[in-house]
Amino acid sequence: MALNLIVLGPPGAGKGTQAQRFARERGIPQISTGDMLREAVKAGTPVGLRAKAIMESGALVSDEVIVEIVRERLDQKDAAGGFILDGFPRTVAQAQALDGLMLGRDPLVVVDIAVPETELIRRLTSRLVCEDCGTNAEPGTSPEAPCARCGGRLKQRADDNEGVVRERLKVYRQNTQPLVDYYRTRPTFRAVDGAQAPDRVAADLAAAIAAAANGAGR
């Protein structure tokens, strides 16, 4: 049966890194909203052309268009054995739309990576990214070290100062935290402690996903 997964968590929780690692180990695609938009635009699908026109006008792509792009992406062959959604859903309305897309499919497994706000602020204000490929460096990496992915130079992101970080976390609590509440009562929901070392988080994430999948009667 397919393993259909959403990994939630605030900025700095490491959800993108963990999702990428899990997807690679399990051989299922990690599907990001940005990638889906770019692929739809490149393919010239009707919804991709709509998204392109909206983005070129400077407007935000609506939930309706995003949901249709997600539908198209999940219908592709490589997602038949499962997928990890990255950056979608972001709101309860998108989650409700996703529930509609999942009708007739295996259940969604939802894991929330929880990290105390003080730790998130510490991580984000010390985070380094590659100025060439944009990859986040592993926590604790020296600023003088090259990017592990492409060898480029590492730097701090402009929006990773404490004031901006606190505002991003506030926006997360207001807009995205309700998603956790939406999914929390499902038998396929689990939470893991994201304040641990990355390898420990990865192990707990894998165990939580297995337990949640069993909770779905798999």
Q: Which residues are catalytic?
A: 15, 90, 127, 157, 168
With beta carbons less than 8 A apart as the criterion, state whether 32 and 87 touch.
Answer: yes
Given the DSSP bridges, would you call strands 154-156 and 128-130 parallel, antiparallel or unpaired?
antiparallel
CA atoms within 13 A on the CB side of 76: 15
* Token pair 């510490």 in the structure block, residue: 122
User: Looking at the chain, how many residues does it have?
Assistant: 218
Nearest to 12 by CA among 110, 118, 94, 132: 118
Six-digit token pair at 23?
């997807």
Six-digit token pair at 107?
């259940």
